[in-house]
Amino acid sequence: MADLRGNPGPDEPIPLGQRLFDNFFLLLIAGIVIMTVIYTAWGLWEVVSLPPATLP
């Protein structure tokens, strides 16, 4: 039987969600990748692909 923290008993398989959440390094990689792709890399691409402004 699961305990109060949701940990399964000795004979029960650990649910997939709990295994994912317990994998800190997977979470770390996911956090870095999402931020790097959506904020940083996409932002850099926006800046470097700006056409030069024409002088008035």
Partner 1 sequence: MTDSNFRTCGSTGLKVHGPAELLIKANAVVSVVALLIGAIGAVLLVLTRWQAVHLLSAPWYYRILGVHGMSMLIFFIIFFEMAVLYFASTVVINARQVMPKLGWASFGLMVVGAVMVEVMMWTGKADVLFTSYVPLRADPLFYLGVILFAVGALIVTSMFFANLVVAKREKRYEGSVPLVTFGAVAAAIIAIITLLHGAAIYIPTFLWSLGLMEVDAQIYRLIWWGLGHSSQQINVAAMVAIWYMLGALTVGAVVINEKISRLAFVLYILFISMASAHHLLVDPGMGPTWKIVNTSYFMYMAVLASMIHGFTVPAGMELGQRLRGFTSGLFEWLRKAPWSDPGFSSLVFSVVVFGFVGGITGVTIGTEQINIIVHNTLRVPGHFHATVVSGTAMAFMGATYYLIPLIFRKRVAFWGLAKIQPYLFALGMLIFTMSMTFAGSFGVPRRHWDITFSQAPFGIEFSPAVDLLLGIVALGGLMAATGAFIFVAIAVKSVFFGEPLGEITRGTAMVGVPAGLTHPPVHSSNVDELNAELHQPGRSWRLGPAPGTVVLVGVFLLAFVVYFFVNWKVLSFVWKIG
27 and 21 Cβ atoms separated by less than 8 Å: yes
Residue-wise DSSP of 8-55: --TTSPPPHHHHHHH-HHHHHHHHHHHIIIIIIIHHHHHHHTPPPPPP
Minimum distance from CB of 1 to partner 1 (Å)? 13
Query: How many residues make contact with partner 1 (CB under 8 A)?
Result: 27
Does the protein bind partner 1 through residue 46 (CB under 8 A)? yes
- Residue 12 as a binder of partner 1 (CB under 8 A): the answer is no
Residue 11 binds to partner 1 (criterion: CB under 8 A): no
Smallest distance, partner 1 to C-beta of residue 42, A: 6
